[in-house]
Structure formats: C-alpha cells, structure tokens
Structure 1
Amino acid sequence: MKLPAVRRTLIRTLFALLAAVTAVLAGTVPANAQPGDAKVIVIGVPGLRWYDVEASPELTALVNQANVGSMSVKTAGPHTCPIDGWLTINAGARAWGSVPGKPCGELPPVVDGKVQNWSEYVDRQAEHHTGAPLGRLAESRPRICGFGPGAGVALARTDGTVTGWQSEFDLGKLASPNCGDAIVDAGPMPLRGRDEARRQVAELVTQARNSSPGAWVLLVGVSEELENAHQEPLVAMQLPPEDGARWLTSDSTRRPGLIQLSDVTATVLRGEAKPIDPAGPAQPGPLDGSEIHATGDVHTDAAAVIEDRLDANERFEHPRPVLVAVGITLLVVQLGALAWFVIRRSPRSRSTFVFTLLCQAGFFSAVFLSTVTSWWRWPEPAFSLYCVVLGLSALVAVLAKLVAKNYAFLPIALGTYLLLLVDGVLGTPLQVGSMFADGPVIGGRFYGFGNSTFAALAVGALVTAGWAAHKLIDRSRTQAALAVLAIGGAAIVVDGKPGWGTDFGGIIALTPAVLLMAWLVWRDRVSWRALVGIGLTGLVAVSAVAWLDYQRPPAERSHFGAFVARLLDGDVSDVLIRKLDMALAMFQNPGGWGMLLGVLLCMAATVLPDRVPSAAYRAFYHEQPLARPTLLALSTCGLVGMVLNDAGVALPAIMTGFALPLLVAHLVASERTATVSPESHLVQEQ
C-alpha cells in the first residue's frame, strides 16, 4: 500500500474512532422516578448524627418508617456552620456564610421582616466566588412557610426580606392550607442534654407527619454544631415511604444512601427554580442539586440500617487521613532503600530499591482494590485501611516482579488501566471508600472519577498504549498508531461517559495526549500544523460530547451538560473563577511550589533528554522507539490537566508519582541486567 493510501486509511480510522467515542460518551443515563407533588416539610437539625439515632429509641423507631440515608453537609467554606447550611438550602447551591477563623456564633435574627445584616452574606458569596444565588428558594416558592431562626435564613429573599415565617414552631399554621411547603429549624443538637433533644426531634417529626397526611417529611442534618467539629455525613430520613422503606439518593450523588444539602432545595422546588416575575431580573442558573428519591431494596431491620450508616461513616472519614500516613511510609521506606543502594551498590540493595519503587507504583491500584476488603467493618478501621493498602501495594509489586521480572512496570500499568476500565463501566463501585475518592466530607465528587483516579488511569493507559505500539511498530507504524488510538480511546470513553467516569476535565487532558502519541507513532515527528490540528480535534470532540449531554433533560445531565447550561446562561464566570482559586490555592504553602518544581523538571526531561544526568535514561530515551512518544504524551496530559483542571499542579504531580517509579524501576533493573550480562542490550526484551 502506498503512503498516501496509508495516510488516508489512518485519518479515516481516526475520525471514525472519534465519532464512536463521541457517541458513546454522549450516551444517556436512565432517569429515576422522582417524588410527586406532595407537600414537602423539611425539618433541619444542625449536628444530627447517626450515633444520635442509635442512642435514641424514638429516632430508631422512625428508621423502618422512612427512606434513609446520609447527608453531606459540605458547603463552600472550610467548615459548615449552621449559617452555611441554611444559606445553602436558601440558594440551592453551596454557600459561604461563616467568617473563617471565627466561631460559628448565633444565626442572624429576623428584625422587622428582614434578616439582619443580609447584605453581608450576599457580599460574601461574591467575595468567595461561590456563585450561590441567595434568595432562590423563597423567590421560586411563594407559598412556603417557615419556623425558627434557621428557617428565616433559608426563606430570605434576594433582598433579605422574609414572609410566611414565625420564630417558634406552630403546628396549627403548619397544617393550614395557606402553608404550602415548609422549612422547620428544630434547633442544633446540644453537646450536653442530648437525650432530651433527640426525643424532641422525633416528636416534631411525628407531629409534622400527622398534621399533613400525605406530605413528605424530610428530617435532615444541616450543619456541624461547631466550626471546628469533626465533619461526617449526618442523618437524612424521608417519611412516609411510598412502597417500603428504602435508601435515599439523588442524581447529584448517584450513590444509594447519600444526598447533599442542595438536594433539599431541589426537592422543595420539584427540580426547577421558577421565577415569580418573568419581567424581573435574570434568574440564576440551574440548581446544583437534584430531587431526592428512594432506590434499592426494602429494609426492615432498623438495627442493621443504623449499623450500615455507622459503617458508611467509617468508610467516608478515614481514607484521606490514612492516605497521608501511607504516603509517608512509602516515602520513608523508599528513601531508606535508595540510601542503601547508593552506599552499597550490591545486588540485594538494588533489588530492594526496585521493589520499593514497584510498591509505590502498586499503590495506585491498591487504593481501589482495598475497597473489596470492606476494611471499614474491621476492628480499628483506620489502622486496617493502612495495613490493607500497604499489603496490597507490596502484593502487586511481588506479582509484577514474578510475571515480568525487569519489565515489572508493564503489568502494574496494565493492571491499573484494566482495573479502572472495569470499575468505570460498573459505575465506579471501587471509588467510594478509596483514598482517591472525594467523599461526602470533602464533597468534591460523589460519583465518577475524581482527579486522582483520572491521573492513575491516564498513566496506566498511556504506558500500556506505548507498550502495545512497541510490539507492533516493527510490523507497521499504522497498526501501532491504531493500537494507541484504541487503548487511549477506551480510557477516554470510560473516563468521560456520563454514568461511568463522568470526568469532563479528564477527557480534555487525555484526548490531546492520545492524539499526539498516535501521531508521533505514525509519523515519528510533529509539526506546528499537526499540533494545532490535534488540539482542534480534541476540542471539537469534547465540545460535541458536552453539547449532546446538554440536550438531555436538566435532571439527567452530567458535568458536561451542566457546564454548557451555565455557559449559555452567562453563569459560568463564577465557576471558572472558583476553579482557578482552587488550583492556585495549592501555592499557599511550600508543598505546592515543590510539586510544581518537580513536575516541571520531569516535563523538561521529556523534551531535553540529553540534559538529564543519567546515561541509562538517555540510552532508554534514544534507543527505545516508543519512549519519546510515551513520555511526551504523559507530559502533555499533565500540562493540559494542570492548566485547565481545578486540581492544578496536583494532577501532574499525582501522575508523576505513578509514572516516575515505573520508569526508574525499569532503568535500575535494566542497568543490573546490562552489568550482569554484557551480551544483553538495554532495549532487548525477555
């Protein structure tokens, strides 16, 4: 076949693959049945935990009469004080009401029909770029009534005025036809005298249910009691269940048994904020939350349900703190092995150092495999998770070494790639409870792949694609390039498809990296015209996915469609500023600058290999035909992700933490082979 024909074939295949990727990524996620138009009564209790339900016979008795779940109270600020929680319900989006570094304090009173100092809270949303449209709940639901200080904050309009509100609970008014939906502040759970407070909350729920037959009664924790309280998911119950007590969920979390504060607002508004005055000012963008509904099997054992919720608390709380301990352990062991190797240069010290590097690389699959063990049900969950992850990291390293010896990097990368592909297709069950998942306390992402998971997938995919192309390149550069597109395309599909990875930022970073790698494999060089074409092709593919996702109903959209909606509504600037603030926040401490320096040095090594003071690396770069395309693709993915992702420099730093040990382990092991066997060559395979 002549070169022009080969080129046309490859280009046609490339565009066909991109079209298939776009079609799959734009696939729909089935919508769940939403609650009807029954009256909704929200009873908010700051600090209500599942430990309170366990300790209260009255609250325990409600469990089998309710759909239940855990409530994520993460708001825009570093802590969720009561004012933050009630403002979030007010806006239907994460709000910031507390003052950093100061105690939570009392809620602002309603004086002469207006929340005192309301303008300060409005200004605070602009100051912190939260984008929370204060006043949305009351402006969209005119017949809503409220009781208690927190309800006054939740029902304040855009100018801070409050109507249909009373400072004390009034059962008669709640049952009145003039009271549509209702917000009730049951008061915070006290640090002492908690038993009586629990009994009163249960009694209030019973009264509300009896006063309005057929109404939805939502009992929810809305905040922590104190600014510095340890955060965990709080209680969420919905009475009465329509067809048996089940688990609460929403399309914003897509996790059975988990909802978030903004879902409360979406439920009261039936999923849509409707303006009262069409001639009035422009309305805020789409709701951040989704309507609450029930899912899963019927539960009939209150004790088992409570135990499950307490286990969920363990699952949500420990991964991130234990991540630090595991990271420090791996680093200390690795530095010790490196020192021994530098001093002794013995075969045993070399093997030990290589093994510690492989353990660090194995960590990136161990964090997900750990959830299979259900460590949160073991004694001392935090210590159990620590031991499980370190043990699995070592096991992955041992198996890789046994299977591939000096090429142990390959099964580790391939295993991580395949593991995350399967996890994504299954709906990411391995994410919840893993160290790389943004749990409810952090509130960054409730479903799909987060930034850390994407970083692991990207490295696994690109290294696997490089190996596959290496095996094919002597036979045909076209076949090698197609292998890169197939392996990388699968990662893009799983990472980006709504309902699977649902990672908007990830496919923006991975698509140009895969296209660049395929081009380099095919042509062995790249021009500015090719770079522009690769960039535009990636942009068109991502834009097409986002636009098709936007065509779905608002309740069914993922992050892609929601971004387009905000863009068309002119509501995207605050989102972009907030993400930029998150990315720049990494540089508020020396660690962020250290990560940036390390990442830039690694990226420089991929474009200036002859400046690297390592003969083994220089030989590897120049003699291995796929070393350059693979390393440049990794750098491209990291650079684009750093610039366009809210994780900032953390994303390429995580990628480096996975890819660099794989590379160094291979170089050190290969150097030993060359020393022991002069006939062998660095590029020879077993």
Structure 2
Amino acid sequence: MVASVVAAAAGSVQATAAPATRPPTSPASPTSPASLLAKVVVIGVPGLTWGDVKASPELTALVNQSSVGSISVKTAGPQTCPIDGWLTIGAGTRAWGSDSGQPCGDLPAVSDGKVTGWQTYVDRQAEHHTGAPIGRLGQAGYPMCGFGPGAAVALARTDGSVANWQPQFDQAKLASLECGDAVVDAGALPLREGRAEALQKVAQLVGQVRQADGWVLLAGVSQVTTNDHKQTLVAMQLPPDDGPRWLTSDSTRRPGLIQLTDITATILRGRTAAAVDPAGPEKAGPLDGSEIRSVGDRHTNAAAVIDDRLDANQRFEQPRPVLFAVALTIVGAEVLALLWFLLRRSPLSRRVAVFTLLVQGGFYIAVFLAQATVWWRWPSPAFSLYAVTIGISVVSAVIAQVLLKKSAYFGLALGAYLLLLIDGVLGTPMQLGSLYTDGPVIGGRFYGFGNSTFAALAVGALITAGWAAQKLFDKSRVQAAVAVLVIGGAAIVVDGKPGWGTDFGGILALTPAVLLMAWLTWRGSISLRALVGVGLAGVLAVAGVAFLDYQRPPDQRSHFGTFVARLVDGQVSDVLVRKLQMAVQVFTGPAGWLMLIAVVLCMLATVLPNRVPSQAYREFYTSHPMVRPTLLALSACGLIGMLLNDVGVNLPAIMVGFALPLLVAHLLASHQPATVLPEPHLVQES
C-alpha cells in the first residue's frame, strides 16, 4: 500500500494528458513557474507541518522530488484559521476571516452557486481596515477550477459567487481543457487519530494532480486551531525547476521561506488581468506577495532537508519567549545591584551597579550577534539562545570597561552602530530569528530592519555621532557638524536603502533628528524657521527615496514603493488606520501607560535639565557642548518615531532601554566621591 501511494505521489512527468496552456507570461527566470506553460495547481492543507513530513514515508518521498521551503501563514487577524488562509489567497493581501477569540470554525458551504455568508467576510475587511480585496482571484478573468470548500472561498468572485467548482476532487476534470489553473482543498488534518491516514491521502492527491502535468504547489495554508500558531508550515513545489532547491520570493528574500500571499501572486503573475477587480484595476491595489521561485544548491538528502526545516522552526519559535526571560534576568540583576548601591554606597556596590547597567547596553549587541552562534542547532535551543544572549551581553560589557574605562558607554553604542551597519549592508542576515524580529510565525518583517532594530541603530548612531563631534568641537564646529552628518547619514542610508534596512518609518524619524543635531552642533541654537526647514528637509529626503523605489517594477518594490503605490491607488487610508490601531493597542493595559510616562519624563529631562533632581545629571548636561545636541536628537527621534510608527510608544521605550542605562552607568562611574584623607595630626598621633 505504501509503495503504491509513493509511486502515485511521485507522479509521471511523462503524463499523457495534454496540458492546458495559459496565456503568455512576461519574461521570467528559468527557476520560476511563470516560465512554464502548464497549469498551476495549488493543493492547500491546513495545519501541514514539517513534523508531518518527517512522520509520513509518503511525504518524505516527495522531498527529493520537490523544491521545498516553509510558508508563513500570517493573515490580517491575530489568528490564522482555515477561513483566514483561503480568503487571503483569494485576495492576494492579508485578509481577516475568523472571529477574534473564537475557535476556528468550519468553512462556509456553497449554496446556489454562492459562498454562504460572503457579505460577512466583506464587512469584516471594512471593520478591521484590512484593505483586502477578497474575490480578486475569482475575478482574474482566466478560467480556474476549484475543488473542495476552501477552494470555493479562494476562487469566489467579489459577490461570493463561484463558478467551475466542485465539492470533491475530480482528476478527469482537472486534466480537461476546462481547467486552466486550479486550487484544491485537501482538507484540514485531524489533530490526533487519523492524521497518518490523512497524510497518506494528501500524498496520493499530489500524485493524481501531477498526472495532469501541472506545476504543483503543496502548501499548508493555515493553522487548524486558534492556539496552534507556533511554526511555519510546509511548502513543496513539483516538479522542481532545474532540480530540487529552496523556495523563496521577493516578498521574503529568504531562501526556504515564502508567505501565503505569494501563492496568489504566482498564479496571477504575468497576466494582464493580474490586478483585475470588477470596479476597475485601480481599485484592487497591489499584491502583497511575489512570484515563488527556487534558488540555491540542489538537495538530494530528504532527511537532511527535513531536519533543516525543523531547525528553522526552532529559530522562529524560540526568540519571543526567550526575550522575556533574558530581559527579566538582566533587569532583575540591575535592580538588585542598584538597591545594594543605594543602601551601601560602597566602591564595590558602585562598580557592580555600573557593570549591570553596561550589561543591559551589551544586550543590544547580543540580541543580533547571537545569530552567528547558530544556536537553533544546539541541544535545547531555547536555553542555548538564553545562555548565548546573556553571555554576549556580559562579554560586551567587560570588553567596553577594560578598553574604555569611564567611556564604556560609548564603546557599547559604537559596537551596536557598527554591527547594524554591517548587517544592513550584508542584507540583514542577523535579523531573521533574532530576539528583536517577530519573524515569519508572528508575521513581522521578513527582511530589513524592524522598529526594534531601528531603535538600537538610532541610539548607537546618535551617541557615536555626539562622541565624534565632541572630539572635533574645539577645533571646528563645522567639522563637528560634518561628523554628525557623516555618521548619522551612514545610519540613514543603511536603514533606509531598499535591499538593506528597507525601513520606511525609521528614516522618517532618524533623518530630522540627525539634521537637528548637526544644526545645533554648528549654530548652538535653532529658530522656529530653521526647525521647520529641518523637518521639511527630512520629509523631502524620505519622499525622494520612496518615489524612486516606486519607479521600479511592482515585484521589485520594497515597503517604500508599495506605500506610494497604495497612495496613488487611493488604498492608503486602510493602512494608516490599521497602523494607528496597532499603535494604540499598547494602552489597553497599565504597562503601556507606564511606558508612556517614563518616555515623556526622559524626553522632558533633555529639554528641562535644571528640573531633574540629580546634580550629577545637571553637571553632565553642561559639561560638554555635545551633550545637549545628542540628548535633544535622541528625544526628537523617539518622539517622531512614536507618532509615525505602528508600534507607537514601544519605539522610544526601546531607545530609552538602551540609552538610559548607558547614561546612568556613565554618571555613576564619573561622579565617584573623592577619597577623604585623614588630618596630618591624626596620622602623627596614631
């Protein structure tokens, strides 16, 4: 039985059925499905994991016959139930289908040629401002076949009507000329009993579809339960283009990783009707995904490929819980050390307090550098990541103290700055799977710098710029200002350049902050007119970058060009509302309000230093000419970032978490009480 299923799953490349041709496509690389004339058939299996592939001999047998990868199934809502996944495939952008906080339900039935309750899903997109044009795939103007309830949802038109659809898979129908491309719902996998048998049926279905001589994509399209959002799912492409390789797309730019919306882009790519909507092409908006293609070296060892994918799941799954554990450890040690210092005021307690503060600064190096250790391949990946992160944080603090003494704060800022510049130029390899990147499971950035990374880069860049300018200040204020522009400008370029940091919101905040700092360095003060000019210069610089990115082909645009495209198409309002909703979500509990109070107090301390109840801080503020411009630039960057980014107060809070411990450590290390010598007559008497 197993042998027959495996044989069927492999399929016959020399199928006798005549393939249904599709319209000519735009030029494509030989490793992309657009270069094929055969039909594209998507087989969707909610909940299909790489653990399932390892447990199934039939699916394992397909690995060496496929280009493979993992697929991120993040949709617009907090959970990805089957309805969310299929609606997203139909829209080409992230859609919201399920009820928040409710268990995943059954897919809607098809009654009288329409998906039951379709208007509910249409209303849900408007309610949550997803901007998802559900029904786009069904309106594409090209004959596609659907099999199963999920396929009905994916191929429904904008009014919910379904054509050329059957409730069960029909091999003869698929092989006929009636079907161009096709979508097949293989059904959700049982959670426990019957899962092995269901996997056999999936492998058998792949073999039947292959006999139609199509380009087959087997993919997990959603989770099955609301609490099962833990790992990326399976993606396999048969036949592999030029041998089995790794699947990728321009939307992820990561070998071995695609996302759900790439499926829609792959089906539609190259057609003149790629963005067709019944109300006109301009109403549908751009696709979120990009065409799936294969890259990298060929693989011939199925077991090694499966183990690699399971390791990758560890890389994506562990960072979020480990981040909490690391933060709790460092902050806990910091609080204990500061309490000891406040109670004892001894030299030892002071040194310990300074060191723990520097360890927190070292964390902003460790959070990225930890990726170089390949911790996800170590025994007990979660503990390995925890230990590596703590270890690098401590070592960074030790090195900074040994080499720079009281200027250790600068060494940590410089280290984070240089590390992130290098990472950005190399294409951000240290971001994916780091503690500061949500990753594909949560659905955060797949490439470039996220908000947390930008916050670390901004602090590192501004402190480094301030330190360098201080060294040049007495010689020439002009040279000092130029140093600020060069150091800050390098951070802006790396953070914002498409293909490097690709951070639209980041350069919106960092550009005016660097210009403000340079102006204050040069002139010492700033008028309202100059302040407005600095702001306009920053806006124009960012607008120029976005416009140039928009001029590139749609499948090559980054977040900059995509935003401009939505603005031109009149689709940007939903994006802005959704980002605003995300920014205010932090205030649903007391933690958000506490963060806001702390951030505001820190910003006020940079503007009104004389009101700060710390003589050491007040003396430090006036001790060097570059202290004030640096602190004001940090506040300006944090304030603009808070107002313009979808993470809101979280961004300046991360900046405070980096900058404040460095400042306090420097004040403690620099303002040690003078040693009191005994009176000479007491020495003589003794």
Question: Which TM-score band applies after superposition, normalised by the shorter structure?
Answer: over 0.9
1:207 aligned residue: 208
Superposition map of 1:227-242 within 5 A = 227-242=226-241
Distance apart, 1:323 and its partner CA: 0.3
Superposition map of 1:167-246 within 5 A = 167-191=167-191, 192-211=193-212, 213=213, 215-246=214-245
AA aligned to 1:343 is L
Distance apart, 1:276 and its partner CA: 5.7
2:14 aligned residue: none
Contact 1:113–1:162 at 8 Å: present in 2 too?
yes
Superposition map of 1:105-124 within 5 A = 105-124=105-124
AA aligned to 1:269 is L
Structure 1 gap ranges (5+): 1-29, 679-686
Distance apart, 1:311 and its partner CA: 0.2
1:467 aligned residue: 467
Structure 2: how far apart are the matches of 1:226 and 1:277? Answer: 32
Distance apart, 1:279 and its partner CA: 7.3
Superposition map of 1:262-411 within 5 A = 262-270=261-269, 274=274, 280=280, 282-411=282-411
SS at match of 1:218: strand
Structure 1: how far apart are the matches of 2:641 and 2:45? Answer: 40
Contact 1:141–1:269 at 8 Å: present in 2 too?
no
Note the aligned Cα RMSD (angstroms). Answer: 1.5
SS at match of 1:294: strand
Structure 2: how far apart are the matches of 1:636 and 1:283? Answer: 37
1:671 aligns with 2:680: no
Q: Deviations over 1:602-649 (max 9, x none)?
A: 000000000000000000001211110000000000000000001100
Q: Deviations over 1:508-539 (max 9, x none)?
A: 00000000000000001100011011001111
Q: Deviations over 1:306-329 (max 9, x none)?
A: 000000000000001110111111
Distance apart, 1:331 and its partner CA: 1.2
Q: Deviations over 1:114-171 (max 9, x none)?
A: 0001000000011111111110011014301100010011111100000010000000
1:508 aligned residue: 508
Closer/same/farther in 2, CA of residues 281 and 65 from structure 1, 3 Å limit: closer
Structure 2: how far apart are the matches of 1:556 and 1:255? Answer: 14
SS at match of 1:299: coil
SS at match of 1:623: coil
AA aligned to 1:512 is P
Closer/same/farther in 2, CA of residues 280 and 344 from structure 1, 3 Å limit: closer
1:540 aligned residue: 540
AA aligned to 1:552 is R
Contact 1:456–1:655 at 8 Å: present in 2 too?
yes
SS at match of 1:41: strand
Q: Deviations over 1:260-319 (max 9, x none)?
A: 000000001116653668875853100010010001111111111000000000000000
Q: Deviations over 1:234-281 (max 9, x none)?
A: 000001012111000000000000000000000011166536688758
SS at match of 1:675: coil
Structure 2: how far apart are the matches of 1:210 and 1:677? Answer: 91
1:255 aligned residue: 254
Contact 1:50–1:234 at 8 Å: present in 2 too?
yes
Closer/same/farther in 2, CA of residues 577 and 31 from structure 1, 3 Å limit: farther
AA aligned to 2:73 is V
SS at match of 2:441: coil
Q: Deviations over 1:430-488 (max 9, x none)?
A: 11121011201111210000000000000000000000000000000000000000000
AA aligned to 2:39 is K
1:53 aligned residue: 53
Q: Deviations over 1:648-678 (max 9, x none)?
A: 0000000000000010000000011x53499
Structure 1: how far apart are the matches of 2:421 and 2:299? Answer: 32
Distance apart, 1:173 and its partner CA: 0.4
SS at match of 2:284: coil
Q: Find runs of 4+ consecutive structure 1 residues off by over 4 angstroms.
A: 30-33, 275-282
SS at match of 2:247: strand
Structure 2: how far apart are the matches of 1:585 and 1:278? Answer: 35
AA aligned to 2:199 is R
Distance apart, 1:383 and its partner CA: 1.0
Distance apart, 1:379 and its partner CA: 1.1
Structure 2: how far apart are the matches of 1:549 and 1:32? Answer: 26
Contact 1:271–1:555 at 8 Å: present in 2 too?
no
Contact 2:229–2:441 at 8 Å: present in 1 too?
no
Structure 1: how far apart are the matches of 2:676 and 2:330? Answer: 31
Structure 2: how far apart are the matches of 1:197 and 1:175? Answer: 24
The aligned length equals: 646
Closer/same/farther in 2, CA of residues 452 and 72 from structure 1, 3 Å limit: same
Closer/same/farther in 2, CA of residues 276 and 555 from structure 1, 3 Å limit: closer
2:577 aligned residue: 577
Contact 2:136–2:277 at 8 Å: present in 1 too?
no
SS at match of 1:255: coil
Q: Deviations over 1:351-406 (max 9, x none)?
A: 00001100001000101111111111111111111111011100100010001111
Closer/same/farther in 2, CA of residues 280 and 230 from structure 1, 3 Å limit: closer
Closer/same/farther in 2, CA of residues 359 and 105 from structure 1, 3 Å limit: same
AA aligned to 1:634 is L
AA aligned to 2:247 is L
Distance apart, 1:31 and its partner CA: 9.2
Structure 2: how far apart are the matches of 1:561 and 1:635? Answer: 28
Structure 2: how far apart are the matches of 1:34 and 1:555? Answer: 13
Distance apart, 1:32 and its partner CA: 9.7
Structure 1: how far apart are the matches of 2:476 and 2:32? Answer: 54
SS at match of 1:283: helix
Q: Deviations over 1:542-583 (max 9, x none)?
A: 001000110011011101110100000000000000111110
Structure 2: how far apart are the matches of 1:181 and 1:676? Answer: 83
Structure 2: how far apart are the matches of 1:654 and 1:577? Answer: 24
TM-score by length of 2: 0.93
1:529 aligns with 2:565: no
AA aligned to 1:585 is Q
2:429 aligned residue: 429
Contact 1:31–1:556 at 8 Å: present in 2 too?
no
Structure 2: how far apart are the matches of 1:631 and 1:279? Answer: 52
Contact 1:271–1:291 at 8 Å: present in 2 too?
no
Closer/same/farther in 2, CA of residues 434 and 277 from structure 1, 3 Å limit: closer
SS at match of 1:71: strand
Structure 2: how far apart are the matches of 1:274 and 1:424? Answer: 33
AA aligned to 2:249 is S
2:659 aligned residue: 659
Worse overlay, 408-417 or 272-281: 272-281
1:23 aligned residue: none
SS at match of 1:368: helix
2:23 aligned residue: none
Structure 2: how far apart are the matches of 1:659 and 1:620? Answer: 15
Identity %: 69
2:44 aligned residue: 44
Closer/same/farther in 2, CA of residues 277 and 546 from structure 1, 3 Å limit: closer
SS at match of 2:274: coil
Contact 2:67–2:240 at 8 Å: present in 1 too?
yes
1:98 aligned residue: 98
SS at match of 1:228: coil
Contact 2:247–2:258 at 8 Å: present in 1 too?
yes
2:6 aligned residue: none
2:153 aligned residue: 153
Structure 2 gap ranges (5+): 1-27, 678-686
AA aligned to 2:204 is E
